[in-house]
Structure 1
Amino acid sequence: MRHARLTVDLDSLAANYRTFRARAPDGAAAVVKADAYGLGMNPVAARLASEGCSRFFVATEAEGLALRETLAADCDIFVFSGEVSAAGLFPVANQPSQLRAGPVALHVDTGMQRLGFAPEDVPDHAEVVLLLTHLACADTPDDPLNALQLERFEAVAARFPGVPVSIANSAGILNGVRGIGRPGIGLYGGNPYSGRDNPMRCVATLEGQILQVRHVPAGESVGYGASRVVTRDTTLAVVGAGYADGVPRLLSNRGEVALRGVRLPILGRVSMDLTQVDATEVAIEPGDWVEFFGPTVGVDEVAAWSETIAYEVLTGIGRRVERRYPATAVGV
């Protein structure tokens, strides 16, 4: 029996995809690398394909081959690393050694200083089916680097008339950047922006099951290192999920969970398999499920407590966590 579960709302995923598709001038692809940001690549991609998505991006050839088994042959799969030897996948070429006979996508590095050709080094001889770049600061629309990157990219794109382009991530699409959108975090319910309200629907809910209820007298300590001493008689819920399941350890003594919409503070250190919660103010019993993130406690809120980003929280969900995909209404 598993005591941690991730529920993936595929209807909300589809709704988020439709939002991006409506805002992207040339339609929207989907970034499903890292097991669809931890939510399950195959069920996520299958649902997006049913919504009309026909372009998918993964990080590695192995991811692409696994995805190829799920998708129809008319769906295009692009591999960001550019290292592709198998048929049925498009390499995103980042350097001359990755160019090959046949169609490729070309990645232009316009300011990230990661993978990609420098603008002056982009080759003219390849059979280019897609020209792309990646914005470093799309989540902060007023950052001047956005305009500089677009200027650099458009100078390259002018050399490839008629070739589709892809520039915008989740925030970039909402900012109105042209081309085929490549939403990632926004598909999965994370906030595409820094310092703005989240416009996306919640997709992922991580929960842990209460294994034991303890009554702790005032003055007793909780957890490893005795890092928290309760100042009142406390009802403590011991939850069967810890950092091995993707509960960030930095939530120790600072984060919250939710039970039936009521927020409850985490007491003591998050351990590998267990987390203790102050449940003094609510009625609880073993077998109840508490929300670590979801509709009450947002994933970006958890990320802020954990001094990281929602991407890391989602991709950090442990392999032993049960993934659940409730029955959905395709096309709703």
Structure 2
Amino acid sequence: MSTGHLTIDLNAIAENWRTLDAMTAADTAAVVKADCYGLGVEPITRALARAGARRFFVAAAEEGAAVRAALGPGPMIGVFSGHMAGDSTLIRNNDLTPMLNSVDQVLRHFESLPQQSFGLQLDTGMNRLGMEPAEWAALREPVLQQMPAMIMSHLACADEPDHFMNAKQLRSFREMTEGLDIPCSLSATGGILLGSDYHFDVVRPGIGLYGARPYEAGRPAVTLELPVIQTREVQPGETVGYGNTWTAQRPARIATVSAGYADGLFRALASTLGLWHGDTRCPIAGRISMDLISVDITALGDEAPDYLTMLGAHQGVDDLGDAAGTIGYEILTSLGARYSRSYQS
């Protein structure tokens, strides 16, 4: 096999959901947008449903249709982007629940799908999606008469527990939802970890399902193994890869593996990252190119590995994010389509 192999541990994902669910008295949903963070909507949503999830959230109506196809009737599927122009048929045919974000969306939904379930998204200070307090105050009574399924907002700084913004948004959300007998939701993974004051009626873990930050205690759910195409001996003074950025300081063995930035392994990773063979770290030698990565396997002696591990027990998506100057979310959602995949359950 000439492409890398991605293994997704469905048991780990289900266990992470159950553990997060046990942290709260709220109903625990699952955020499965972007094809379950790039890992495959059908197997993952079904595993989460078996674990007990009955509410799912996606970014767009098209994603909601894919989740409905995987799960069938029953579970609620909320759409964060709300009711966009042209989405009415998708929303109706797939029984989606758009989280309406604006006056325009409220009017569109009530005019085109008056019997369809909906939720409301409120802006508590992130200034991204949702109705601002004045808009909500003007629409509150007529909207509540239509019996929304949920009212939600989103925390901007939940991954920083001491950030002043968390308490500020909590106060705002409480003020905007005071007196309501409707399920309310403020927290994704980071908000769950902030404690029960932030939980309300529904929580919405996403990245935590895969054991990535901010849920440090979670089980990592992804392993990525890259096949070795060729090995060679390199003498002192010889260089490896584009730009001659790596020069051998001693006799070295170099393995070239099949993956690169076309597969979501960013070029910036090369300066600090290694791959692993068992418990032995093997540093990257030179630049990551589109399809290939060169790795210094001198520490393995005469051993000739068939593959090296990029993501596994010693190195997770957050480690790759740190090395690339980004976050684990971006690494996870960038893993490319060329990898073969298997799902452990």
Could you list the per-position Cα deviations for residues 242-282 of structure 1 after superposition, in whole angstroms to 9, with x for gaps in the alignment? Answer: 11111111112321111112111111000011001110011
Aligned to 1:140, which of 142, 155, 160?
160
Q: Distance in 1 between matches of 2:271 and 2:324?
A: 11
Aligned equivalent of 1:163: 182
* 1:292 has 2:310 as partner: yes
The yes-or-no answer on 1:301 pairing with 2:319 is yes
Structure 1 residues 267 and 156: CA distance shift in structure 2, 3 A: same
Matched, 1:94 2:95: no
Q: 1:12-56 deviations in whole A, cap 9, x for unaligned?
A: 111100111111221210111111111111111010000110110
Partner-residue secondary structure (3-state), 1:201: coil
CA contact (8 A) 2:103 2:135 kept: no
Distance 2:2 2:79 in 1: 34
Q: Which has the higher helix share?
A: 2
Q: Give the SS at the match of 1:131.
A: strand
**In structure 2, distance between residues paired with 1:32 and 1:298:** 20
Report Cα offsets for 1:145-187 as digits up to 9, x if no partner: 100101001111115x210011111111122222211111111
Q: What corresponds to 1:54 in structure 2? A: 54
CA contact (8 A) 2:56 2:76 kept: yes
- 2:179 equivalent to 1:174: no
Q: Which runs of 4+ in 1 moved over 4 A?
A: 283-287
1:240-251 maps to which residues of 2 (within 5 A)?
240-251=258-269
Identity of aligned residues (%): 42
Select which of 267, 270, 288 maps to 2:285: 267
Asked if the contact 1:208/1:240 (under 8 Å) is kept, the reply is yes
2:30 maps to 30
Q: 1:286 to 1:274 in 2, by over 3 A?
A: farther
Q: Does 1:120 align with 2:134?
A: yes
The Cα of 1:93 is off from its aligned counterpart by 0.5
CA contact (8 A) 1:38 1:314 kept: yes
Residue 283 (structure 1) shift: 4.8
Report if the CA contact (8 A) 1:2-1:322 is conserved: no
Query: What count of residue pairs does the alignment treat as equivalent?
Result: 322
Determine whether 1:105 maps to 2:123. no
RMSD of aligned alpha carbons:
1.4
Task: Quote the Cα distance in structure 2 between the aligned partners of 1:292 and 1:308.
Answer: 17
Q: How does 1:3-22 map to 2 (within 5 A)?
A: 3-22=3-22
**AA paired with 2:259?**
A
Q: 1:284 to 1:110 in 2, by over 3 A?
A: farther
Instruction: Work out whether residues 265 and 277 of structure 1, in 8 Å CA contact, stay in contact via their aligned partners in 2.
Output: yes
Residue identity in the other structure for 2:97: F
TM-score (norm 1): 0.94
Query: Deviations along 1:281-330, whole A, 9 cap, x unmatched?
Result: 1157666221112221121111001000000000011111112102x2xx
The normalised TM-score by structure 2 is: 0.90
Q: Give me the whole-angstrom Cα distance separating, in 2, the residues matched to 1:302 and 1:296.
A: 11
1:211–1:287 CA contact under 8 A, matched in 2:
no
Residue equivalent to 2:212 = 190
Deviations 1:94-143 (A, max 9, x none): 11121222321111111111011102211222231101011011111111
Select between 249-258 and 4-13 the one with higher mean Cα deviation: 249-258
Structure 2 runs not aligned, ≥5 long: none
CA shift in 2, pair 1:232/1:283, >3 Å? closer
